[in-house]
Amino acid sequence: MIALRKQVADQVRSGLLPKLGAAAAGASERAKQDALGVADPEASYWIGALMAYCGHREPALELLRSAISRSDCSFPAVDRDPLWTSLRDDPEVAQIRRLGNACRERFLAHRRATGRG
């Protein structure tokens, strides 16, 4: 699955976005808004990952924050997903990682409390 997403991202990065030139920023903003409008927070994670891979730092981080705030904890996935490689060492990702890890700990505590883990 990750290999397929990376392949799609490579095609977008090398073909579509450079051809869009100045319009790429507008396309990036529209994609971000579309992802934020989807009820499933995982959409924010995946679109954010593609944004990160394509070099759109700000919308990628905004989408990652959104996913976490809506209980898609996203870590340790970000640390393993090759689409996030370019931003993994970004200081803002370190802050977001703490939020994601706290989200994950709340989830695991809930599982333990309900006898599911």
Q: Tens of pLDDT along 56-113?
A: 999 999 999 999 999 999 999 999 999 999 999 999 999 999 999 999 999 999 999 9
Two tokens at 89? 């060492």
pLDDT digits (tens, 9 = 90+) for 14-72: 655 555 444 556 777 788 777 788 888 999 999 999 999 999 999 999 999 999 999 99
Two tokens at 98? 């703490």
Q: Where are the domains of the chain?
A: 2-113
Instruction: For 44-111, give the DSSP string.
Output: HHHHHHHHHHTT-HHHHHHHHHHHHHTT---TTHHHH-GGGGGGTT-HHHHHHHHHHHHHHHHHHHHH
